[in-house]
Structure 1
Amino acid sequence: MNERSIQHSTFVIERTYSASPARVFTAWANPEAKARWFPKADEFDFRVGGREFNSSEHAGAIFTYDARYQDIVPGQRIAFTYTMDRNEMRISISVATVEFRKIDTGTQLIYTEQGAYLDGLDNPELREHGTRQLLDALDEALQSGAIPAETHS
């Protein structure tokens, strides 16, 4: 590839879950709970400055997700930065936040991501679609009882 490019984009996804903010937060903060709806981490250090890393094969390519937690307020928000690589080539760099708000029926989750998609190797539409699928899987895990009603470990 000769021509280099960057496409910038922001997307916001709002979801309502019929579970407490503490339980939805646990789904992000506990490695066993998160593995019920997100690719299992090879490394999971949930603390400010901690790293979450996984590598998996999809459609014949090896994808790596490498995140650093920048801010954590238990039960309220998570802010992190992450990179995505495909076959050891960087395809995107993102800043993401997850907000947890208590509502009468459970939790309103607000996921916001600002991304830089590199050299046409990834795009915001694919990323948003994948994130929506993950948040659907989170709902299924919460409804099935796979996520414990506890704070993160």
Structure 2
Amino acid sequence: MENLSTTTLKMKREFGVAPERVFDAWLNPDMMRKWLFTLEGTNKLTQNDPQEGGTWEVIDHRDGVDYRAIGKYLEVDPPKKLVFTFKMPQFSELEDIITVELKEIQQGCDMTFTQLIHVAHEDDWTKTDVEKALGEYHDGTEHGWNLMFMGLKELVETGKISYKG
């Protein structure tokens, strides 16, 4: 596809728990439905087959609308690395690639999160239009993950999330 650009979002977080606990939060449907693209109070569906080639799906219901996030696992190496595709079909058929790497440290674990974001653009876009769109997608995606990672941290460190949405 010619009308496609990419940008990379990289984020780091530290958790006061073992890498296994954070890895589990990415794969266990009971934990996923509390923070990953959804909240417990708005989650309509969470399905997961956490193996290479397996798929995952989360449906969040807000303001009368279902928001569906889906993907396929490309690499599952517990508790160190997880690579999967991500797309929201109601917005775009483009798939992003997400990599989650966990490393044990003395106080718990470090998580390095990387998302390769694909952005479709119009034929008549200038280089400036493309750069603006890439910046907006990057910043918007980073904002969303910041909110989710606050929930993830609270969930793995305390067992629950106080924010209900």
Range of TM-score over shorter length: 0.7 to 0.9
SS in 1 for 2:92: strand
What's 2:98 paired with? 96
**Hey, which of these two has a bigger chunk of helix by percent?**
2
3, 6, 9: which is aligned to 2:7? Answer: 9
Q: Does 1:117 align with 2:124?
A: no
Determine which structure has more spread, i.e. the larger CA radius of gyration: 2
CA RMSD of aligned residues (A): 2.4
Percentage of pairs with the same residue: 23
For the residues of structure 2 that align with 1:89 and 1:24, how far apart are their CA atoms? Answer: 29
Structure 1: tracts of 5 or more residues without a match = 148-153
1:118 Cα deviation from its structure 2 partner = 2.8
- Shift of the 18–71 alpha-carbon distance from structure 1 to 2, 3 Å rule, reads same
For the residues of structure 1 that align with 2:83 and 2:96, how far apart are their CA atoms? Answer: 11
Does structure 2 conserve the Cα–Cα contact (< 8 Å) formed by 1:31 and 1:44?
yes
Written as runs of structure 1 = structure 2, the 5 A alignment for 1:37-48 is 37-38=35-36, 39=38, 40=43, 41-48=45-52
Q: Does 1:80 align with 2:84?
A: yes
For the residues of structure 2 that align with 1:55 and 1:32, how far apart are their CA atoms? Answer: 14
TM norm structure 2? 0.75
Pick 1 or 2: higher relative contact order, CA cutoff 8 A, min separation 6.
Answer: 1
Letter in 2 for 1:101: K
Does structure 1 conserve the Cα–Cα contact (< 8 Å) formed by 2:29 and 2:46?
no
**Hey, which of these two has a bigger chunk of strand by percent?**
1
Structure 2: tracts of 5 or more residues without a match = 122-132
What's 2:125 paired with? none
For the residues of structure 1 that align with 2:58 and 2:49, how far apart are their CA atoms? Answer: 12
1:145 Cα deviation from its structure 2 partner = 2.3
Matched residue count: 141
1:19-69 Cα shifts (integer Å, max 9, x gaps): 001111111121112222222444211111111112334466543211100
SS in 2 for 1:90: coil
SS in 1 for 2:34: coil
